[in-house]
A and B are shown apart, each in its own frame.
Chain A
């Protein structure tokens, strides 16, 4: 019913504009309009006398009344339902049942700048997702909920453990060589920031787009190509996610109250497998104390130690005089679940209430949402509140004032992720013998902290004298003492005035704002690894849009015309003040910049940018069959050099609804479309003039540095040219729909930040260079294979294939480095090479014999490796898509969302380290002799290597020491084994719901109740990647392209219930 109400509202609104004159009438008819499918009243149905402007809409209970002539024909129409025409005759009571018109073609979609268009007139691809489809399991991040739902959209998410972590979205592949090609998010016409404050390590603070309350969303329309988003200019060059929120209804006075609650239990899942034979240490013999007692090597954070066979040894706890096991020997045995034991059961409680109402000239909707999440990692939480109001008031018949007001507040303590950060070091460096439950109580009564990684006991006394942790804190110390908290207050919304000057001309003006303050503070306590410290940052952003739009719509005979002319000033002011203590804190627990031992570091920043724009768009239709659109936009950016700061770009698109003249039985709708558009881009402010770097004052001496980035005063705006063609088909009374699009985009002369040889004196510069070409296809299938009175099955399948090529780069430089990361002195890269697919993984590979391809071995029979320049191929997937199935049987509904990806790859440092540190089963495998590889070579142990000796050229088959092989070669210097295929098929969301019948409702003060079981992330159906790595969650905070995984938060499964009550 929500669906039809939504449609009703739009229809209502449209029809409202048309009613301005009344015919002479002689009598009044009335009645109730209901849905044929379920008998529920249909509000917002247009009831219009044919060929006149006389009409009304049904009220909330589906009732209408209208004064008509006896000879009139009354047309009942509503989007999503088959239009009915009924002659008035002598009837006065019209109880009408309307049949659903599945996937109606007269769909009205909200396009750029909020201009509503008849979908069939569009010459470019857009895809709309209904709000209810996005939130059927109450997913709280709108970007994340788009995963798999829209053809051509790739979402890379983060683990649920991050609680509101980053969800990255890309539309139609990679269009910017810098990778910063996130689409623009627009809520009810207001562009909002989707910034991300997360780094590649530390807490994943998530994308700010999640401040949109999912239950406010009526629909999301994805404008994919530049033609669709042309009216947004530079900000829309990578596509636009248009979010339309639910609104109140004008008409008969009515109030609707809805309550929605969901509760889920969250559990850690997909932990990396571990070996449980060998414990902590670097050799298989125990070290001994002066008294001869063996002890676990507590300095070592690897598991290459002795067999965990229950030998009585001194374990770390026994060195703490405060510990009950002090001085005692305890069995050295495995704790197979020691990593799992760190995690808790999380929960997620969400409550939302909405009140919708209106009368003749007012519509209002108020929503309130409260989310409380306790994470699966200890001491983590997220609380979020959303408050939204939208209202519109007709001051006069033709003058309307409206506002949308959204407020969101977040407060969280999130777990950290990244290489050796937070608790995610556990799979990277740890001892298999440690009992996590013994570590949980991380502080003794006297205040001493319990850690597991200490300097070795004295060889003289057998006592540990220094209880400062060496490499790792107790993970619980990390969770409870070294915390990071973030808070954000966000407001976005608009105030608008629209004036219907005539029947055909509407003028509107809006002031739009998106403002937030983000606070981040982090603590490092005394008693842990490293210096204690504190940092605090306050980040403030204000974006204003001042907007004017004139719309003219008219039709003459067979022609229709829609023209829009507008202007926009976008003004951004972003500032931050972030500070950190240096050299430690003055006293424990005193977290303040004033506690800094040495001069604290301060970063104080202001950014201002303005873009002024003017635009126009004309759309012409002929016979409701042929449509042509053209638009032109001019942007003037303050970030570009003054002489070069203005640029224009056009778009043109056309479509032919060929089913209007081709009468084919099975095909009830067919359209071909084509478009061409240019989109421009500019760059960040302050990159065209020279500034110097500032460092900490040395003994009163100030110093400044020539920056590593070479400024470029000659930068020009760049243009992307995109071409798109497609066909939309509907068969069998709309039971089957096919949308197919082919597109090509050429991003020329891009403004790129090019890595330079440091020998030039700079590390990078902004230049205009390059040509990236994107080609792709998108296919969306919709269908209703089964439809009976009691049972229906709807499916929605989409898939897309995209190929991004770097055709040209720079006359002198043909490799572009997107990013690099160094670990153990080995640097790996994400590079693009001229003439190759975008974004290749680059790192050291095995050296291979040219003739046979066999691995070359050195004189110790260890594999030889290349420099870190081997190209392992592109990280981008070959295809991805999604498959949504919804079933309805009587009062039950079942929905399941599957998304999938083929191809793509990334480096997994977690797995590499798990092997290197002897935790992964690979490091304790059984070899060809049937002996554990860790056993001595003499005993048949060792890793079998096969290859060709580099010095003799002879083939070699040999067994080599496992620890040396993994610790110094394969787990450290050769990345070939850690290139992980990112293909997967994932069951992302499932919901099984039941709507209580009307007979029950009659005795209750509710209109309807729906109770559902929901599951998020219940099952990875198939993945090419090894266990313990989720290829769909390789989103490392701010990395614009996910290319390596390191210490990602573990995956989370959620199961729960959802209750929806309409009063």
Chain B
């Protein structure tokens, strides 16, 4: 009797012990399936970060710090690129590698094409900032935890090829859930070609022949033709998707950024219509009857700082639903003006230049009124004897708040030439790698340092195209 009791008790306890409820280890809290465009959309949401950066704007010397002067003094220190790989790039790679995408969100080929174009575009930004970075062995998850660093040259080759491949694979039919171009594949194609043209221009010093060829390839593929083709990230007027600057200035009450003297000096003498958008009049100069003056702050100043005496960034710049123009028609026009002067393409550099400024003003102010007058002023009016400086300076004005791109163009052309060396510090020529690459990817990291800088990470070593 006892034995039966015992056996029953034990067996009831151990009955079917290794069979759990089937779904006990299935995560009920997160989806196990994702569609191609859901992944692409998530990657697109990261695009605003390409420009929304204080560091980029300090490197381009658009903004000066009104308090806690720090990053604008160009201190040594790594900057992480992990977010780009783990975030948007991995999403895009998942779409590119997927074998079971569904066509319910539009042609699979187009979903993949968008993923490839964005991957190329983001990698272009990454390599321009850091130089050699992991590319061919990156984004492979458990297949490779320690990706090697590819040379910038080979990354450029790969991006050109990837973008061309993507453009060629586009089929008719739009896709849904596209935050950037609302599924318009023609615009994606133009965007891709425009990126290629800008990349080609980056080669002007290191390999002009290749640059010329790629530039022409891009043009014949069809680049942007109006501001409607601009690659724009649109923030929303709600906290979940608001702009970085709104969070800083409005939510956090941080009046930390003033326009630099460099910027104001480049714009104020010509009554540049974009200046009232870029910044606010210095509060100290405002009276009841007077709107106030635009006063730039000396970049790198650490004493006698003020939020009253200088022009802070304007309300349009920190709007909650800010539109961030990442790649623009105006840029493409500046590029063509430069290409004409370089003899890469035929045409009239001046008309490209004028159109570039006109479209920039349209983009920033919403109107082209008075543009002609603006263009006719000496100093603004095109002067082909000084084409590189003039194009570069006006492009720098246009690229306001997209500091990293402006910094890249400065590195390539050396213009604008008026620059400040805060507390004696030169302007860095690249970003240092994140500290933890030395922990997580030691051998590849050290190999990359050895190859490029003889062993120590160096923010003053030019990247490959920066000759």
| Interface of A toward B, CB cutoff 8 Å | 282-283, 299-300, 455-456, 458-460, 468-470, 501, 507, 509, 529-531, 546, 548, 550, 567, 569, 582-584, 597-599, 601, 604-606, 608-610, 612, 614, 636, 638-639, 645-646, 685-686, 688-699, 701-708, 710, 712, 755-763, 765, 810, 812-815, 817, 820, 824-827, 829, 831, 844, 859-860, 865, 867-869, 964, 968, 972-973
B73 interface hit (Cβ, 8 Å): yes
Cross-chain contact A761 with B440 (CB below 8 angstroms): no
Task: Tell me the residues in window 291-331 of chain B with beta carbons closer than 8 Å to chain A beta carbons.
Answer: 302-309
Cross-chain contact A825 with B71 (CB below 8 angstroms): yes
A231, B82: Cα distance in complex, Å? 44
Cross-chain contact B82 with A759 (CB below 8 angstroms): yes
Say which residue of A694, A704, A865 sits within 8 Å of B76 (CB atoms): A865
A501, B238: Cα distance in complex, Å? 71
Cross-chain contact B441 with A693 (CB below 8 angstroms): no
A813, B45: Cα distance in complex, Å? 32
How does the 8 Å CB contact mask read for B49-93 relative to A, with 1 for contact and 0 for none?
Answer: 000000000000000000100110101111011111111011101
A572 → chain B closest CB, angstroms: 11
Cross-chain contact B18 with A645 (CB below 8 angstroms): yes
Cross-chain contact B80 with A760 (CB below 8 angstroms): no
A339, B179: Cα distance in complex, Å? 50
Residues of B within 8 A of A597 (CB): 238-239
- Cross-chain pairs A/B with CB under 8 angstroms, 19 sampled: A299-B307, A455-B255, A507-B6, A529-B252, A530-B253, A597-B239, A614-B17, A688-B25, A691-B32, A698-B179, A703-B41, A757-B441, A758-B83, A758-B434, A761-B141, A815-B439, A865-B76, A968-B70, A968-B75
Cross-chain contact A704 with B34 (CB below 8 angstroms): yes
Residue of B nearest to A636 (CB): B18
Residues of A within 8 A of B85 (CB): 758-761
Cross-chain contact B87 with A760 (CB below 8 angstroms): no
Pairs A-B, 10 closest by C-beta atoms: A758-B82, A583-B239, A815-B439, A757-B441, A691-B30, A686-B27, A703-B41, A696-B240, A703-B42, A761-B90
Residues of B within 8 A of A598 (CB): 238-240
Cross-chain contact B440 with A686 (CB below 8 angstroms): no
B236 interface hit (Cβ, 8 Å): yes
With a 10 A CB-CB cut-off, give which of A598, A758, A865 has the most chain B CB atoms. Answer: A758
Cross-chain contact B78 with A867 (CB below 8 angstroms): yes
Cross-chain contact B32 with A690 (CB below 8 angstroms): yes
Cross-chain contact B82 with A829 (CB below 8 angstroms): no
A616 → chain B closest CB, angstroms: 11
A593, B9: Cα distance in complex, Å? 49
A712, B145: Cα distance in complex, Å? 13
B269 interface hit (Cβ, 8 Å): no
A530, B253: Cα distance in complex, Å? 7
B399 interface hit (Cβ, 8 Å): no
Cross-chain contact A706 with B91 (CB below 8 angstroms): yes
A509, B253: Cα distance in complex, Å? 63
A170, B413: Cα distance in complex, Å? 60
Cross-chain contact A758 with B41 (CB below 8 angstroms): no
Cross-chain contact A813 with B287 (CB below 8 angstroms): no
A113 → chain B closest CB, angstroms: 14
Residues of A within 8 A of B283 (CB): 458-460
With a 10 A CB-CB cut-off, give which of B255, B436, B444 has the most chain A CB atoms. Answer: B436
A198, B113: Cα distance in complex, Å? 45
Cross-chain contact A470 with B253 (CB below 8 angstroms): yes
Binds A, one of B132-140, B189-197, B209-217, B257-265: B132-140
Interface residues on B, range: 35 or more
Residues of A within 8 A of B86 (CB): 708, 758, 761-763
Say which residue of A639, A755, A814 sits within 8 Å of B436 (CB atoms): A755
Cross-chain contact B147 with A698 (CB below 8 angstroms): no
Residues of B within 8 A of A612 (CB): 14, 17-18
Cross-chain contact B308 with A456 (CB below 8 angstroms): yes
Cross-chain contact A638 with B25 (CB below 8 angstroms): yes
A712, B141: Cα distance in complex, Å? 11
Say which residue of B31, B77, B133, B254 sits within 8 Å of A691 (CB atoms): B31
Cross-chain contact B28 with A606 (CB below 8 angstroms): yes
A759-B85, A763-B82 given; A639·B25 CB < 8 A: yes
Cross-chain contact B41 with A701 (CB below 8 angstroms): yes
Cross-chain contact B70 with A824 (CB below 8 angstroms): yes
B457 interface hit (Cβ, 8 Å): yes
4 additional A-B residue pairs with CB within 8 Å, beyond A691-B29, A759-B147: A567-B13, A598-B240, A757-B437, A761-B93
B423 interface hit (Cβ, 8 Å): yes
A701, B234: Cα distance in complex, Å? 13
Residue of B nearest to A609 (CB): B24
A705-B39, A706-B90, A815-B440 given; A756·B145 CB < 8 A: yes
B252 → chain A closest CB, angstroms: 6
Residues of B within 8 A of A583 (CB): 238-240, 242
Cross-chain contact A704 with B145 (CB below 8 angstroms): no
Residues of A within 8 A of B251 (CB): 530-531
Cross-chain contact A283 with B303 (CB below 8 angstroms): yes
A757, B436: Cα distance in complex, Å? 8
A699, B5: Cα distance in complex, Å? 64
Residues of B within 8 A of A614 (CB): 13-14, 17
Say which residue of B34, B78, B80 sits within 8 Å of A692 (CB atoms): B34
A567, B138: Cα distance in complex, Å? 48
B451 interface hit (Cβ, 8 Å): no
With a 10 A CB-CB cut-off, give which of A599, A763, A831, A844 has the most chain B CB atoms. Answer: A763
B424 interface hit (Cβ, 8 Å): yes
Residues of B within 8 A of A705 (CB): 39, 42, 87, 91
A928, B27: Cα distance in complex, Å? 65
Cross-chain contact A825 with B439 (CB below 8 angstroms): no
Residues of B within 8 A of A569 (CB): 13
Residue of A nearest to B22 (CB): A642
A774, B435: Cα distance in complex, Å? 29
Say which residue of A529, A692, A698, A825 sits within 8 Å of B253 (CB atoms): A529
Cross-chain contact B29 with A605 (CB below 8 angstroms): yes
A460-B286, A696-B241, A698-B236 given; A299·B67 CB < 8 A: yes
Residues of A within 8 A of B442 (CB): 813-815
Cross-chain contact A698 with B9 (CB below 8 angstroms): no
Say which residue of A459, A582, A606, A758 sits within 8 Å of B80 (CB atoms): A758
A1031, B457: Cα distance in complex, Å? 36
A610-B20, A701-B177, A869-B435 given; A689·B133 CB < 8 A: no
Say which residue of B76, B145, B236 sits within 8 Å of A760 (CB atoms): B145
Residues of B within 8 A of A605 (CB): 29
A663, B440: Cα distance in complex, Å? 60
A962 → chain B closest CB, angstroms: 14
Cross-chain contact A761 with B140 (CB below 8 angstroms): yes
A468, B251: Cα distance in complex, Å? 11
Residues of A within 8 A of B177 (CB): 701-703
A604-B29, A761-B139 given; A459·B18 CB < 8 A: no
Residues of A within 8 A of B80 (CB): 758
Cross-chain contact B441 with A531 (CB below 8 angstroms): no
Say which residue of A710, A756, A973 sits within 8 Å of B77 (CB atoms): A973
A288 → chain B closest CB, angstroms: 12
Residue of B nearest to A584 (CB): B239
A966, B325: Cα distance in complex, Å? 40
Cross-chain contact A702 with B41 (CB below 8 angstroms): yes
Residue of A nearest to B88 (CB): A705
Cross-chain contact B305 with A567 (CB below 8 angstroms): no
A804, B239: Cα distance in complex, Å? 46
Residue of A nearest to B80 (CB): A758
Cross-chain contact A458 with B435 (CB below 8 angstroms): no
Residues of A within 8 A of B77 (CB): 825-826, 844, 867-868, 973
Residues of B within 8 A of A860 (CB): 423-424
Residues of A within 8 A of B87 (CB): 705
A546, B15: Cα distance in complex, Å? 13
Residues of A within 8 A of B4 (CB): none
Cross-chain contact A704 with B252 (CB below 8 angstroms): no
Cross-chain contact A755 with B28 (CB below 8 angstroms): no
A569, B144: Cα distance in complex, Å? 39
B146 interface hit (Cβ, 8 Å): yes
